Amino acid sequence: AQAPVNVTVTGAAGQIGYALLFRIASGQLLGADTPVRLRLLEIPQAVKAAEGTAMELSDCAFPLLAGIDITDNAKQAFDGANVALLVGARPRTKGMERGDLLEANGGIFKPQGEAINAGAADDIKVLVVGNPANTNALIAQRHAPDVPAERFTAMTRLDQNRALAQLSAKLSVPVTEIRKMTIWGNHSATQYPDLFHAEVNGRTAAEQVEREWLADEFIPTVAKRGAAIIEARGASSAASAASAAVDHVYDWVNGTAEGDWTSAGVVSDGSYGVPEGLISSFPVVSKNGAWQIVQGLELDEFSRGRIDASVRELAEERDAVAKLGLI
């Protein structure tokens, strides 16, 4: 039988954790033949709640769940980790300045990057979900110098899935008929969901919708969907975020379909003028467990302007954490 894959989840007692762990344990993260051992990392106050979730995981009697360890020690949590889902983060609370938020998260993602560097398995794959996801991923990556930089990724898959849902409703086509949906830039309100390269029935999505809808409805609806969910639900997106995390890792491990691509925050190699080293969302394909940025796409002035604005924001966040001594 195959050896279990070690999957570390931080923030395991949070609301995304609650939606995510059962999907991982049921085999949806890696594939239905791969046993998993879960490592749950929480802060001391939340360890008991994580233990409660672990009791429920046991009670599901998942055939693929090989074990669960719970800890408040990052070194232990990442020791031997093959996949790490960094979900736990410090949310912005009232009166908190952006610098305070970045600093509080630096206090989380720096030691976690160090722990990954010290003990994770050679094939470690890291997905950062906790916000600000791109910059948190950058902080962790910079503190894991022995791990190839491309193993650190940030989640924009939820934005992509939201874009698919909006376009599917607009054109009355199933999501399965939409290919090559891309989110560019930062996982924030400046993100750019790109309909000029998305395809529906062999034609670009952009030519099948009105330009006003694209610019004035589609983009803002996708970019502000998180706030709309909070407004409606009284809590931030959780099950959809967990589902997107599953999609991201599944594609990373199992590869993207021929003739399609997905998007993810990955370390820039300078492609499309995005400064090298920034963790920015790009169109990507996955082959043999590695992401590759899709090359050679033409960007018109509209797309170029949107991407540049989001990338500028990423550069500002990088400069802010550098100034705080976090990278």
Q: Which residues make Cβ contacts (< 8 Å) with residue 239, sequence separation at least 6? A: 19
The contact pattern for ligand NAI, residues 133-152, with x = CB under 6 A and - = no contact, is x-------------------
The residues that bridge with 179 in the sheet, in sequence order, are: 199
164: contact with ligand NAI by CB under 6 A: no
Which position among 9, 13, 164, 183 is part of the footprint of ligand NAI (CB under 6 A)? Answer: 13
115: contact with ligand NAI by CB under 6 A: no
d(CA 287, CA 315): 28
* Tokens linked to 210: 């009105």
5: phi then psi, degrees, rounded to nearest 5: -90, 130
Which position among 127, 155, 253, 321 is part of the footprint of ligand NAI (CB under 6 A)? Answer: 155
Give residues 17-76 in contact with ligand NAI (rule: CB under 6 A).
Answer: 17, 41-43, 46
Which position among 131, 166, 303, 310 is part of the footprint of ligand NAI (CB under 6 A)? Answer: 131
326: contact with ligand NAI by CB under 6 A: no
Task: Please say if 197 is a catalytic residue.
Answer: no
| Ramachandran bin of 314, using left for φ above 0, alpha for ψ from -120 to 50, beta for the remaining angles | alpha
For residue 301, the 8-state DSSP code is: H
Which position among 16, 81, 144, 285 is part of the footprint of ligand NAI (CB under 6 A)? Answer: 16
Signed CA dihedral, 264, 268, 269, 275: sign only: positive
Q: Kindly list the distances between the CA atom of residue 292 and the CA atoms of 180, 194, 264, 265, in Å, as whole numbers in the listed order.
A: 14, 18, 10, 11
* Tokens linked to 43: 């802060």
Instruction: State yes or no: 113 annotated in a binding site.
Output: no
Give residues 227-246 in contact with ligand NAI (rule: CB under 6 A).
Answer: 236-238, 241
d(CA 112, CA 73): 10
85: contact with ligand NAI by CB under 6 A: no
283: contact with ligand NAI by CB under 6 A: no
97: phi then psi, degrees, rounded to nearest 5: -80, 160
Instruction: State yes or no: 16 annotated in a binding site.
Output: yes
The residues that bridge with 152 in the sheet, in sequence order, are: 126
Which position among 187, 197, 248, 318 is part of the footprint of ligand NAI (CB under 6 A)? Answer: 187
Point out the catalytic residue in the list 143, 187, 197, 248.
187
d(CA 325, CA 134): 17
d(CA 50, CA 12): 6
Which position among 21, 87, 200, 278 is part of the footprint of ligand NAI (CB under 6 A)? Answer: 87
106: contact with ligand NAI by CB under 6 A: no
| Ramachandran bin of 196, using left for φ above 0, alpha for ψ from -120 to 50, beta for the remaining angles | alpha
* Contact range with ligand NAI by CB under 6 A, out of 52-60, 82-90, 177-185, 206-214: 82-90
317: contact with ligand NAI by CB under 6 A: no
> Catalytic amino acids?
187
**Residues contributing to the site for ligand NAI (CB under 6 A):** 10-11, 13-17, 41-43, 46, 87-89, 91, 108, 129-131, 133, 155, 158, 187, 236-238, 241
Residues at the binding site for substrate are 92, 98, 131, 162
